[in-house]
Amino acid sequence: MRFSAVTERLAGQGGAKWAVHFRAAEMAAAGRDVIRLTIGEPDVPAPDSLAEAATRAMHAGRTGYSDGRGEIGLRRALAERYSATRGRPFIPDQVMCFPGTQTALYAVMCALAEAGDEVLVGDPMYATYEGVIRATGATMVPVPLRPERGFRMAAEDLAARVTPKSRAILLTTPHNPTGAILSAGDIAAIGAVARAHDLWIISDEVYEEMVFDGARFTSPLADPDLAERVVAVSSISKSHAAPGFRSGWCIGPEAFTEALLPLSEVMLFGNQPFLADMTEAAIRAGSEVAPGMRARFAARAARLADRLEGETALRVHRPEAGMFAMIDVSATGMSGTDYAFDLLEQTGVAVMPGASFGATLDGWVRVALTVGESQFDYAIEQIVAHATRLCGQTAGTAPRADQIVS
């Protein structure tokens, strides 16, 4: 039996990247105590108000077919929110609704790239990006996000990789896995490259409400000079601790959403009306859980950095947003993958190898900030002890991330 070419393009995507996570699950199933700092899910359940709103809508009969673009109430709420936060007007017809950010990203990518095209994306990157790009037939072109620049994309690195086949730039801000945020200057410089080469900008902004105190989020959607070439995707998965509800959207030029509509209709024909009503209420009310998550994740990242940089040879990139922190483990002489397996076997603490997110992070690991305080602090103790065994006691020798010139 034959399969389509897309199955070949996606063969092998994903499994090897999660080998440490799967090994941790095996160890836990065998009865060993394991702390899994591999997956980024909110550290609180979805608010009861979401389930209550969805239930009310279902009981009110909101279980029929949806508008192919998504329900007008939700699209109106999103247009109002983006108009207020981006400083320029948006209308409901610039919004399309999907089951989560991932589906929105896939639909947007299918509308903008195809076989023979190239899509430029920062390395490191979220684990599904390569597959999303490959699924369209396009080729992914990694652009290194340099640690010394705080993992923010540099326009000169981007421009050096543009070819006549380049079609789009895929940005993530705030960034997963590093927690870096593109500045307004970064976006202006990247936008200049996009305008010079007539490229689309796809902006994944799902961590927008996970920005820590003292940092500032800027969206490419806010730049009127980029209005006709930027499409953003997001959802309530992170902001409202609701990943299982699968409620997301894209927003961009009206001509783009008009062109995207037939593709959306053959995929899913809009999101569920009762979830749209729930999401509309959530968008209008704001998140009751995001402030607490931001504070906890920032505090855990700071504790991790203070301990490791004060007591070991490991260095931490201090995130500005999100649910993760990155540890540079190159002082151990091990790759991030070897280090992660060794840490797991020796201590029961599971972290993600940086190489799972791109070649730039071969000597790094990613740590989820999403477990409770006692578990997280115990994990820090184990990481410190493990690093001391590997490298010796080197207190004060590792440079702090905020001392690195960016």
Q: Which of 150, 202, 155, 156 minimizes the C-alpha distance to 179?
A: 150
Encode pLDDT of 305-324 as tens digits.
Answer: 999 999 999 999 999 999 99
pLDDT at 399: 41
3 state SS of 315: strand
SS3 (DSSP) at 360: helix
**Element counts in the chain: helices (H) and strands (E):** 13, 12
* pLDDT confidence band for 406 (50 / 70 / 90): very low
Q: Is 264 exposed, middle or buried (0-12, 13-18, 19+ CB in 10 A)?
A: buried
Residue 232: predicted pLDDT: 98
The pLDDT value recorded for residue 394 is 55
Residue 19, phi then psi, degrees to nearest 5: -60, -40
Q: Are 141 and 119 in contact (CB under 8 A)?
A: yes
Phi and psi (nearest 5°) for 299?
-65, -40
- Res 310: pLDDT: 96
pTM of the entire predicted model: 0.93
In the 8-state DSSP scheme, what is residue 361?
G
In angstroms, what CA-CA distances link 16 with 23, 177, 336, 345, 399?
11, 17, 14, 18, 32
Give 344-390 pLDDT, tens digit per residue. 999 999 999 999 999 999 999 999 999 999 999 999 999 999 999 99
pLDDT band at residue 7, thresholds of 50, 70 and 90?
Answer: confident
For residue 8, what pLDDT is reported?
80
More confident residue, 8 or 150: 150
Report whether 209 contacts 160 (CB < 8 A).
no
- Per this entry, what is the length of the chain? 406
In this prediction, residue 13 has a pLDDT band, given cuts at 50, 70 and 90, of: low
Question: What pLDDT does 15 receive?
Answer: 65
Decide if pLDDT at 149 tops 60.
Answer: yes
Strand partners, 211: 321
Identify whether the C-beta of residue 105 lies closer than 8 Å to the C-beta of residue 132.
Answer: yes
| Three-state DSSP state, 371 | coil
Query: pLDDT value at position 100?
Result: 94
Phi-psi region of 172 (alpha: psi -120 to 50; beta: other; left: phi over 0): beta
* Residue 400 banded pLDDT, cuts 50, 70, 90: very low
Confidence at residue 393, expressed as pLDDT on a 0 to 100 scale: 62
Query: Which H or E run contains 343?
Result: helix 336-347
For strand 364-368 and strand 349-353, is the pairing parallel, antiparallel, or unpaired?
antiparallel
In this prediction, residue 405 carries a pLDDT of 33
Please name the residue that has the structure tokens 């820090």.
380
- Bridge-based pairing of strands 349-353 and 95-98 is unpaired
CB 280 within 8 A of CB 119: no
Q: Are 344 and 379 in contact (CB under 8 A)?
A: no
Joined together, the tokens standing for residue 310 give 């004060």
pLDDT at 331: 96
State yes or no: pLDDT of 74 exceeds 70.
yes
Computed over every residue of the chain, the mean pLDDT equals 94
**pLDDT score recorded for residue 121:** 98
Dump pLDDT digits (tens) for 92-144. 999 999 999 999 999 999 999 999 999 999 999 998 999 999 999 999 999 99
> In the structure, what pLDDT confidence band is assigned to residue 396 with cuts at 50, 70 and 90?
very low
Q: What is the pLDDT of residues 37-46, one digit of tens each?
A: 998 889 999 9
3-state secondary structure of 151: coil
Range list of H helices, 160-289 = 184-197, 254-267, 273-285
Q: What pLDDT sits at residue 109?
A: 98
pLDDT tens digits, 199-223: 999 999 999 999 999 999 999 999 9
Q: Quickly tell me which residue has 């980029």 as its tokens.
A: 226
pLDDT for 404 beyond 70? no
Residue 50 pLDDT greater than 60, yes or no: yes
Pairing of strands 230-235, 200-204: parallel
Asked which of 64-68, 263-267, 395-399 is least confident by mean pLDDT, the reply is 395-399
**Rounded alpha-carbon distances, angstroms, from residue 311 to 183, 307, 357, 386, 389:** 32, 6, 27, 11, 12
The pLDDT score that the predictor gives to residue 346 is 96
Cα angle 19, 24, 29 (rounded to 5 degrees) comes to 125
Report the pLDDT value the prediction gives residue 355, as an integer from 0 to 100.
Answer: 93
